[in-house]
Amino acid sequence: MTGWMTSEPLSSNGPVARFESIGVHLPSVRVSTAELMASTRHRTKIQLERLTGIHERRIASDGEDSFTLAVSAARDCLSRSAYSGADLDMVICTSISKYHGGMRQRLEPPLSMFVKDAIGAAGATSFDISNACAGMLTGVFVLNDYIRRGVIRRGMVVSGESISQLGRNAATQIRSIMSRQLASLTLGDAGAAVIVDQAGPGDAGISVAAFTTLADHSRLCLAYPSRVGPGATMYTRARSIHHAAIESSPTLVKEALEPAGLDLGDIDWFIPHQTSARAIKQGLRTLEERMGVVPRHTVVNVEEYGNTSSTTHFVALHRYLRDGRFQQGDRILLLALASGIEIGVVVLTMDRLVDLPWAS
């Protein structure tokens, strides 16, 4: 058995946590993969769209940064919530990028303090969590545990990822498909937020929240201050990290689901981390080979947004809620596969969230 961190076991009398509202902010600027590859300094001949399935990604414009993306997403979330910012007991900011005021990293005071003040949640407890692309689901794990133990009633997890500068920096250096900066070309910017609160009696909610780390692979993705442009440079052994994550996932997913009496065949919608269409398809094949079953539906929206890091699952959830794809009673599995390697599994049953005004 892997060393899982799990929330307090569900009891017949204890509270259940649920997703009360979700918000997203996507920058208006769109950059196609063809445009990005045309900007590379060297003639790479890399067919990135064919390799990844990514057609375009959103790019933060002047005046947008991690802070503004996070605040816009938080306000969008509150716009369809029953709560105001003042009602929140906790605000957790989980961005990898923490740019506030341009390309200045805001580490202390933490970005969460500025976000909570901007949304009128000045009385909320706040802190930042950094857990690579698993950040938002890690925040959900924390809120789920606090709510089920009765520590708080409701809180928000929010992230603003302004990471496209990694792609711009990579474009000046990348020379071949073997470059360790190749994964940087898949990134896009986005803000996302989710309010987690205590469900009513008999309401559905979060049934699984579990995390584990495969620390042997912790150096497969590393970032450093860039020498060629503002921001950072990221080096990823993409094939190695995908192989390790995909090979480990079937056993780990099974271990996470078993305590709740679930298996993969009970899942209606599977939302993996959106790295590339090819990687997601390969992961599904491995799950079917090892577990003999796959979820009924798999969400792939990487072609529109690219890899938006910690916000990726909530960008996908928001899009499918907006399009009316989910129904009450659908069981949804969110799978984080993040550098570290960090594996996170969150399972929720869709409820009244589908009835919110998503078209607005």
Q: Which pLDDT score, from 0 to 100, does residue 8 have? A: 55
Q: Is the pLDDT of residue 173 over 60?
A: yes
Q: Which tokens hold the place of 235?
A: 């080096």
Give the CATH number of the domain where residue 279 resides. 3.40.47.10
Mean pLDDT of 288-296: 93
Q: Is the pLDDT of residue 7 over 70?
A: no
Q: Which pLDDT score, from 0 to 100, does residue 332 have? A: 98
Q: Is residue 358 part of a domain?
A: no
**Residues paired with 338 in a beta bridge:** 342
User: What would you measure as the largest C-alpha separation in the chain, in angstroms?
Assistant: 63
The Cα–Cα gap between 314 and 59 comes to 18
Query: Which residue is listed with tokens 């995908």?
Result: 242
Q: Which pLDDT score, from 0 to 100, does residue 1 have? A: 45
Supply the angle between the helices 277-291 and 238-257 in degrees, to the nearest 10: 40
Do β-strands 206-213 and 342-349 pair in parallel, antiparallel, or remain unpaired? antiparallel
Q: Which pLDDT score, from 0 to 100, does residue 10 have? A: 53
Global pTM exceeds 0.85: yes
Work out whether the CA dihedral 161, 340, 195, 268 comes out positive or negative. Answer: positive
Q: Which pLDDT score, from 0 to 100, does residue 239 have? A: 87
**CB within 8 A of 282, min separation 6: which ones?**
242, 246
For 5, 257, 268, the CA distances from 335, given in Å and listed in that order, are 15, 12, 14
Q: In the structure, what pLDDT confidence band is assigned to residue 118 with cuts at 50, 70 and 90?
A: very high
Q: Which pLDDT score, from 0 to 100, does residue 11 have? A: 53
Q: Is residue 359 part of a domain?
A: no
Structural domain count, the chain: 1
Q: Which pLDDT score, from 0 to 100, does residue 360 have? A: 56
**Residues paired with 206 in a beta bridge:** 348
Given a contact cutoff of 8 angstroms between Cβ atoms, the answer to whether 57 and 31 are in contact is yes
Do β-strands 269-272 and 331-338 pair in parallel, antiparallel, or remain unpaired? parallel
Mean pLDDT of 32-48: 92
Q: Is residue 357 part of a domain?
A: no
Q: Is residue 58 part of a domain?
A: yes
Q: Which pLDDT score, from 0 to 100, does residue 41 have? A: 86
Mean pLDDT of 8-16: 65
The model's pLDDT over 217-241, given as tens digits with 9 standing for 90+, comes to 889 999 988 888 888 999 999 889 9
The model's pLDDT over 194-210, given as tens digits with 9 standing for 90+, comes to 999 999 877 789 999 99
Q: What end-to-end distance do the CA atoms of the chain give, in Å? A: 45
Mean pLDDT of 93-113: 90
Given a contact cutoff of 8 angstroms between Cβ atoms, the answer to whether 77 and 22 are in contact is yes
Mean pLDDT of 75-81: 97
Q: Is residue 48 part of a domain?
A: yes
Q: Which pLDDT score, from 0 to 100, does residue 237 have? A: 92
Q: Is the pLDDT of residue 35 over 90?
A: yes
Q: Is residue 328 part of a domain?
A: yes
Q: Which tokens hold the place of 60?
A: 């933060």
Per cent of the chain over pLDDT 90 is 79
Task: Report cis status (omega within 30 of 0) of the bond before 109.
Answer: yes
**CB within 8 A of 225, min separation 6: which ones?**
232, 233
Give the mean pLDDT of the chain.
92
The Cα–Cα gap between 273 and 299 comes to 10
**CB within 8 A of 259, min separation 6: which ones?**
6, 9, 208
Q: Which pLDDT score, from 0 to 100, does residue 151 have? A: 95
Provide the residue range defining the domain that includes 73.
Answer: 5-352
Do β-strands 154-161 and 90-93 pair in parallel, antiparallel, or remain unpaired? parallel
Q: Is residue 360 part of a domain?
A: no
Q: Is residue 34 part of a domain?
A: yes
